[in-house]
Amino acid sequence: MAGLEKKVMYRYSGNGKFAVRKQEKQQEAIERNTAYQKMISTPDGITKYISGTDNIGHKQMKVLVNLQKKLNNK
């Protein structure tokens, strides 16, 4: 069974065009996440997010509504 060991490959590392694009996508995702976290940090921001987003799942809607209630009670 020694031949069945898998090699760990680190794809798209270095300075190639695919690695650069991967890093750019990661940075964009970080920026989107920080903007989302900043927006949902206030009850008004949560309301604005809910009204401006078309497709919000049931679980995310529950979390946002509960967070909004929690922030309003403070």
| Stretch 41-63: mean pLDDT | 93
Q: How confident is the model at residue 21, as a pLDDT?
A: 87
Is residue 47 pLDDT above 60, yes or no?
yes
| Stretch 7-30: mean pLDDT | 79
Residue 46's CB is within 10 A of a number of other CB atoms, namely 20
Of 64, 8, 1, nearest to 36 by C-alpha is: 64
Q: Is residue 64 a contact partner of residue 57, using CB atoms and an 8 Å limit?
A: no
Query: CA distances (Å), 49 to each of 10, 38, 72, 73, in order?
Result: 37, 11, 16, 20
Q: How far apart are CA 33 and CA 11, in angstroms?
A: 24
